[in-house]
Chains A and B, each alone.
Chain A
Amino acid sequence: MRLDPVDAVVVGAGAGGGVVAYVLAKAGFRVVLLERGREVPFHESGHDELRSQRTTVLGNAFGPDDSHYVRQIRSPLTGFFYRVKPSEGAYNNVAACLGGGTASYGAMAWRFHPKDFQMLTAYGQVEGSTLADWPITYNDLEPYYERAEYEIGVSGKAGANPFEGRRQKAYPMPPLPYNREAARMAAGARKLGWHPFPIPMAINSVERDGRAGCIACPHCVGFGCEADAKNGTQNTVIPRAVKTGNCTLLTEAVAKEILTDAAGKAAGVAYYHQGRLQEQPARVVVVACSATETPRLLLNSKSKGHPNGLGNANDWVGRNLQGHAYSGAYGLFEEEIFDGTGPAARVALCDFNHGNKGITGGAMMANEFIRLPYLFAKNVRPPRVPRYGAEFKKFVREAYKKTAGVKGPVQEMPLWDNRVEVDPKVADFWGIPVAAITTRRHPMDGETGRFIAERAAEWLKASGARETWLQVASLNGTGGQHQAGTCRMGKDAKTSVTTPHGRLHGVDNVYVADGSVMVTNGGFNPSLTIMALAFRTGEKIVRDWRRA
């Protein structure tokens, strides 16, 4: 059915989409916000580890569900594609619910380092990589970082990170206090002459915006927040957008394709809702489906004027998929350093984001989020401990509260062949062709990973660990919960997908506002950067498309 036209359709109510919908609705645009998932309330799966967004062995609590979705993933072993369900690790999932990844994220709220925007200038060509500078700098984005910190709500200590770029304004909330582990780790880092500080978190350290302050339960990452003190788009900008009266939010609405007119401009979006195919005409379309689903939607939007998919005249859509080559170490301490209070990840340092000899980039390093019991038993033990039997059980029992982990989101080198395509022969529940993903990592990512893992072990030892062991990322594949880069922004239409403001090259009225536009993925968790970019893109849309 053809619906009444609106000013803008925003597809995807995650980190980026939620922000753009809010900026547009606040400026008086009539907006329809489409989200394929639904709202997931805390009590639905609570703290159930086996059905969280952390361990999905019994399913993804925050979607998507196995019965409606599937992807084709190229096996690093055989080189062939095989079918993967959302609850299987290889699927490369973020989430499918109101708030997208931000409903279950760990809520670390990082600004990238200024050099993260200028990787090519800082390091020069890296063989085999499509490494490039962003078309914008940290200073261009700084006001939008500030806006994101205030609109979403971030607690932190301004000035505590000596490596941070210029900051105009302090955080809106004071930092959350260190727990026992973080205090020990901070002291250890200082002993080494490093610069630890409390992690900026999108978590209320005090009551704010009508919601509670953190009650120090450690289940942040992978779960909803039982006190609703964790700030995602689902409990900040999206309800604010709806409250303006200008934004209609439709959940369980699955976009099929972007419709175009005879001139090749976008005319609206076709989507499935309650079993029916609807057509929503709009002056502007904003795609914010995450770095896998956004290229899928663009590639599925073929027409006479766009035979290879929308914005894909030069074959860049879906290329350069990146994640983070997470690497680090675990340490076993003499005494119990686990005190059960959260957020468990509390202390970080940026001494190794850049300036590492022989290495391109690096990573922020932080103590690890809560070690959930099943994941601990499965993954955390030194090589000397077997994975079953009396000795294994004794280790898990004695080490659980004496173990700490440190790791970092190692910045990856983008690769042209790391890509999202669509497989016309495999369809999801609605008959829409699914994403087919091919990835591997650049050898540099392994080197950086090892370097970061060694620093992690050093940090743990200085903090009192008597035994440490490394975990270095494999080169087998990437993407995952920090996926980015598949619709790179740039000034040159031949080597990028969008303009520096996120508008598709060659299509005047379609914008991308999610992790896809990032040229490189920094050595940090990406959500605050995605939100900042979305504020910037949203403002640009308002400027360019406001009715006279």
Chain B
Amino acid sequence: MPVTRREAAAAMAAFILPLEAQGPADAPQLGFFTPNGAKLIEIIANILIPPDEFPGAGDAGAAYYIDKQMQGHYKDKLEMWRAGLFTFSSVVKHHYQGRSFLTLTPDEQKEFIGSIERGAVPALRGIFDFIHDLTLQSYFGSPEHGGNRQRTSWKMLRIEDVMDGGHARHGAPAAGGEK
């Protein structure tokens, strides 16, 4: 399905803030995603790791994690990210009579993600694998990077003490101390 440059730009503008509106990398607010872009990631992340007694990955800050990393370590994946999200929106529109992912029902959203995982949409494999990986990073990695809010996953796995390290459990001083 051919798209013009203008269409692509318009589609992207719905999800990613223009450069001049992006904030500093370590600000707690979003600096990369628009509110709709963040919403999209939150929904997908909550499908990948859904809420139960413990929050889902979207609720635990996946969008904030990705927002921060796309301005930091994953800066050079920006093009891939833009192209991937653009294809994602286009394919959704094509499949669901012009509707966007955000307006699908939760079941339709799940079904669409499921079709990518089953290999029915090869064009979205790359971006989906990337979002999947980033979501796991956000949920299980250290909260300092923007995800895993309130150490949700570490609480779930009951490893908060392990992640704090030996000195926390044994009362021994950490080597080198604080600097």
Contact = CB atoms under 8 A, between A and B. Distances in A.
Given A46-B165, A50-B141, A388 B174 contact: no
Given A340-B162, A377-B139, A388-B49, A41 B69 contact: no
B52 to A, nearest CB: 7
A480 B145 CA distance: 27
B175 interface: yes
Interface in A33-92: 41-43, 46-50, 57-59, 87
A378 interface: yes
Chain A contact residues, majority secondary structure:
loop
B52 A393 contact: yes
A236 to B, nearest CB: 14
Contacts of B165: 46-47, 217, 219, 226
B23 interface: no
B90 interface: no
Contacts of A393: 49-50, 52
Contact of A373 (B72, B140, B144, B145): B140
Given A42-B174, A224-B175, 20 more contacts: A42-B176, A46-B165, A48-B144, A50-B145, A58-B69, A58-B137, A215-B167, A216-B170, A217-B169, A340-B161, A340-B162, A373-B154, A374-B140, A374-B141, A377-B139, A390-B50, A393-B50, A394-B52, A397-B156, A400-B157
A49 to B, nearest CB: 6
B7 interface: no
A393 B157 CA distance: 11
Interface string A344-387: 00000000000000000000000000000110111000000011
Contact of A388 (B47, B163, B178): B47
A400 B175 contact: no
A396 interface: yes
A390 B51 CA distance: 8
B177 interface: yes
Contacts of A386: 117
Interface in B108-162: 113, 117, 132-133, 136-137, 139-142, 144-145, 153-154, 156-159, 161-162
Contacts of A215: 166-167, 170, 172
8 contacts: A41-B179, A215-B166, A217-B169, A228-B176, A373-B163, A377-B136, A388-B117, A394-B52
Nearest to A218: B162
Interface of B: 47-50, 52, 54, 69, 72-73, 113, 117, 132-133, 136-137, 139-142, 144-145, 153-154, 156-159, 161-163, 165-167, 169-170, 172, 174-179
B3 to A, nearest CB: 27
| Closest CB pairs A-B (n = 6) | A217-B166, A228-B175, A215-B166, A374-B140, A373-B140, A388-B48
Nearest to A211: B175
Contact of B166 (A87, A227, A387, A388): A227
A43 B159 contact: no
Interface in A390-434: 390, 392-394, 396-397, 400-401
Interface of A: 41-43, 46-50, 57-59, 87, 212, 215-219, 224-228, 340, 342, 373-374, 376-378, 386-390, 392-394, 396-397, 400-401
A389 B50 contact: yes
Given A50-B142, A373-B157, A390 B52 contact: yes
A389 B157 contact: no
B17 to A, nearest CB: 22
A106 to B, nearest CB: 16
B178 A43 contact: yes
B52 A212 contact: no
A226 B137 contact: no
A400 B167 contact: no
A376 B141 CA distance: 11
Contacts of B170: 215-217
B162 A57 contact: no
A197 B140 CA distance: 33
A484 to B, nearest CB: 30
A227 B48 contact: no
Nearest to B167: A226
Given A389-B48, A390-B50, A227 B175 contact: yes
B92 to A, nearest CB: 18
A28 B100 CA distance: 74
A396 B132 CA distance: 15
A28 to B, nearest CB: 32
B43 to A, nearest CB: 13
B174 A227 contact: yes
A392 B49 contact: yes
Contact of B157 (A43, A342, A396): A396
B49 A227 contact: no
Contacts of B145: 50, 58
A386 B176 CA distance: 43
A397 B53 CA distance: 11
Contacts of B144: 48
B52 A49 contact: no
Contacts of B140: 49, 373-374, 376-377
A177 to B, nearest CB: 14
Contacts of A216: 166, 170
B59 to A, nearest CB: 13
Given A50-B141, A226-B166, A390-B52, A43 B176 contact: yes
A401 to B, nearest CB: 7
B91 to A, nearest CB: 19
